[in-house]
Chain A
Amino acid sequence: MQRIGVFVCHCGSNIAATVDVKKVVEMALLEPGVVHAEDYQYMCSEAGQAKIAAAIREKHLTGIVVCSCSPRMHETTFRKAAERAGLNPYMVEIANIREHCSWIHKDMEEATKKAVILARAAIAKVNLNTPLKPGESRVTKRALVIGGGIAGIQTALDIADAGYEVDIVEKTPSIGGRMSQLDKTFPTLDCSACILTPKMVEAAAHEKIKIYTYSEVEKVSGFVGDFTVDIRKKARSVDMDKCTGCGVCQEKCPSRKTPSEFNRGLNTRSAIYTPFAQAIPNVPVIDREHCIKFQTGKCGVCAKVCQAGAIDYGQKDEIVTEKYGAIVVATGFDTIKLDNYDEYAYSQSKDVITSLELERIMNAAGPTKGHLERLSDGKAPKEMVFIQCVGSRCSDNRGKSYCSKICCMYTAKHAMLIRDKYPDVNVTVFYIDVRTPGKNFDEFYRRAVEQYGVNYIKGQVGKVAPQPDGRLLVQASDLLDNRQIKMEADMVVLATAIEPNPDVRKIATMLTASIDTNNFLTEAHAKLRPVESPTAGIFLSGVCQGPKDIPETVEQAGAAAVKAIGLLAKDKLLTNPCTAQSDILLCNGCSTCANVCPYGAITYEDKEVNDHGIRETRRVAVVNSALCQGCGACTVACPSGAMDLQGFSNRQIIAEVDAICR
């Protein structure tokens, strides 16, 4: 029989205002096993913890129940307090009488009754608790960063600077990501390439950083501190060591009709290509789908012109297997597809473009060499319309329910740059709200209005209709003037919502990291653990976690790096002791449990057993407690009940059920 102490927290008035804590103490004392019960203002305070420690020592408690806030809040606090007083931390159970009781009930009698029952369930459970000891596992002192955009680069640099090895896996032929596609950056109007390129070079040159471009994560196994990752290095068809990056192959390549991914399909590229001039590594890849040599077997021009003899048509995909202690996801974003927005005529007119396309148009290395011109006829526009919130803030199923956060600022930037470079162009921005929190952000927006004369109109555009003369009829409402506007424009720019890179779903599944309904990776806690995934050892960097601009991305990249460093700095990790265990006397060796284990933690061994005097060799399940994460899938799959979960055993849960239904 346990000697149980029950500690009821007032949580100031959070609990005490709706739950009669004295009554809970009184009722708890009547439960079997309870030898001590008391209440206190703030159990989580130092004084509260001291009370727990004192009771453990004086009353020789073997288990305690704290009736307080959610275990997600203070379970660790109380476990540590118990441990300091010499009690195994897993002999602590929490009865959640705040979030699940005092905060949701108004009637004192009802809430008190419920609190008593919740306490009773926790007492019944702790009666069956057994001391548990965490296992230990080693930490591989190397990190993996998935994604080579600004987020991934910054994270890798920070980790590497702390002295740990980092690998970056980037899907495209070069690192740089979305930021490399941008022309200028707000609010200081720095040239994006000018500030990004040095970072790319630094990463490439860093002795602790290894970059896998044109590569993808294929398979992830293992767990925090000890992940094993298969990386597929796609065949580049160019020998990385031999290539000098002279660029002759790209000039001579006869296949030139492939839409350029980097330029958002606004122009074309050759089949052998580097995405952009500052690409790192500066080694081209052959796009085999569009390469004449690969498609027809006849050509081989690039091999002929390559002085270095770097072209290798026979190259094959290669799988590299590496071990990592921590993984940082920095998979970034893309703009949403506009297939569902017929009213903006995006697919009907070449002159309706997305903001990211405008970035490329404005960029000197872009399809128009930096000249602002209509893609339909090459004419300079006179009238430009920007439409905000295209696909953002939509609660219908066409768009995204969230605010994409960066559009207000980049639209102000675009408007300002156009007005600056082409003062004769009229710029009208249709907005719902202009959102500019951030240092120097509102000033920036005001400058666009006040200094550059950008015409901001509150009201959404209802439709954009291409006219026979090639111009675009924009019909909008001006909510402040209470009028409907019909105006003609030469170009319309859509501030398209951003969404997480579609590949993130696959990656999240491999990492067993959770993802929200919008495909953003979920953080372990929205406020307190914003750069960690709930899955241990997985960290989040950049837009894969939620919309953010460059400074925020870099901040988060640094934060993710620090969290990863914190993990890598440890020599070993304590593993969760709430793992499954198989009773070899009950085990049938039927393999059912192994079939449902998501971690491959269950194997089978022929073991000598002594079943009440009968000695025989039996095939039985063995759980690797370092791999087991304690989900419990196996415990239900097991028909004989041989599999049980420590900390959430069958009998413990049944005891809780019984206590509640009593």
Chain B
Amino acid sequence: MSIEKNEEFRPKIVAFCCNWCSYAGADLAGSSRLTYPADVKIIRVPCSCRVNPMFILRAFEKGADGVIMCGCHPGDCHYSTGNYYARRRMTLLFSMLDFIGVENGRTRVEWVSAAEGVKFSATMNEFVEKIYSLGKNVRLEDLRCRS
């Protein structure tokens, strides 16, 4: 929005949620009125295995301060194996981000089932708090997006 007061740091957080478990878990958190900060914005994907590392880097490039990916618990994937692939991909990606000096904790994977509204909200609260403590992402952003 055009006139934004230069107030305290409000992080931008992207959450990728799989359609079958975590998105439904987020819905349940909503219908149970379990609050978490508005900084989190959810993108629906069919499965955690749809999340391309490029999406995560893209979010950071465009100024995200944290990216979290949620999927069905291992073993519960709607597509039976998707989250297992996602788990390996994200482990390696996060390890690489750590390797090049991106603060640990800006990325996270959490398995949230459709029944775990409480866990969804707790996870988001925790994650947002972590991002607040880490502050603005400066190591992985494209400065041109600040303008």
When A630-B46, A636-B50 are in contact, do A72 and B27 touch as well, CB less than 8 Å?
yes
Q: How far is the CA of A294 from the CA of B12 in the complex (A)?
A: 69
A-B contact count (CB 8 A): 153
Chain A contact-residue range equals: 35 or more
In the complex, the answer to whether A516 meets B115 with C-beta atoms within 8 Å is yes
Q: Are A117 and B78 in contact (CB under 8 A)?
A: no
- Report how far A517 CA is from B113 CA in the complex, Å: 10
Contact between chains at B85 and A637 (CB < 8 Å): yes
Residues of B within 8 A of A27 (CB): 1
A598 at the interface (CB under 8 A from B): yes
> Are B62 and A662 in touch, CB under 8 angstroms?
yes
Query: Which of B33, B41, B46 lies in contact with A121, CB distance below 8 A?
Result: B41
CA of A578 to CA of B50, assembled, Å:
12
Asked if B44 lies at the interface with its beta carbon under 8 angstroms from chain A, I say: yes
B55 touches A631 (CB 8 A): no
Residues 642-662 of chain A: 1 if any B CB is under 8 Å from the residue's CB, otherwise 0? 000100101001101110111
Q: Is B70 an interface residue (CB 8 A)?
A: no
- Which of A103, A118, A650 interacts with B30 by CB under 8 Å? A103
A103 to B35, CA, bound (A): 8
Give the shortest distance, in Å, between A281 (CB) and chain B (any CB): 34
15 A–B contacts, CB within 8 A, in A order: A99-B28, A100-B26, A514-B76, A516-B115, A598-B80, A629-B79, A631-B82, A633-B49, A633-B79, A633-B81, A635-B50, A657-B58, A657-B59, A661-B12, A661-B145
Residue A105 CB within 8 A of the other chain: yes
CB proximity of B72 to chain A, nearest CB, Å: 7
Q: Which B residues lie within 8 Å of A534 (CB)? A: 20, 78
Question: Complex formed: what's the CA distance from A598 to B80 in Å?
Answer: 7
Query: Any chain A CB within 8 A of the CB of B45?
Result: yes
CB distance from A113 to the nearest CB of B (A): 7
Say yes or no: A650 contacts B79, CB within 8 Å: no
Residues of B at under 8 Å CB distance from A?
A: 1, 12, 14, 19-20, 23-24, 26-31, 33-36, 38, 41-47, 49-55, 58-59, 62-64, 72-73, 75-82, 85, 89, 113-115, 121, 145
A100, A637, A654, A656: residue with the most chain B Cβ atoms closer than 10 Å:
A100
For window 519-568 of A, CB contacts with B under 8 Å fall at 522, 534-535
A509 within 8 A of B: yes
> What's the Cα separation between A154 and B43 when bound, in Å?
43
How near does chain A come to B127, taking the closest CB pair, in angstroms? 14
> Of residues B47, B55, B72, which shows the largest number of chain A Cβ atoms within 10 Å of its Cβ?
B47
Pairs of residues from A and B, 10 with the lowest C-beta to C-beta distance, nearest first: A99-B30, A632-B50, A661-B62, A631-B79, A633-B49, A512-B80, A631-B47, A99-B27, A103-B30, A114-B38
Q: A113-B38, A116-B1 given. 15 additional CB < 8 A pairs?
A: A72-B23, A73-B27, A104-B36, A113-B1, A514-B78, A516-B113, A535-B78, A596-B85, A632-B49, A633-B82, A635-B50, A636-B51, A648-B46, A653-B55, A654-B55
Q: For A658, give the chain B residue with the smallest CB separation.
A: B62
CA distance A105 to B54 in the complex (A): 30
Q: A635-B52, A654-B55 are in contact. Are A660 and B44 (CB under 8 A)?
A: no
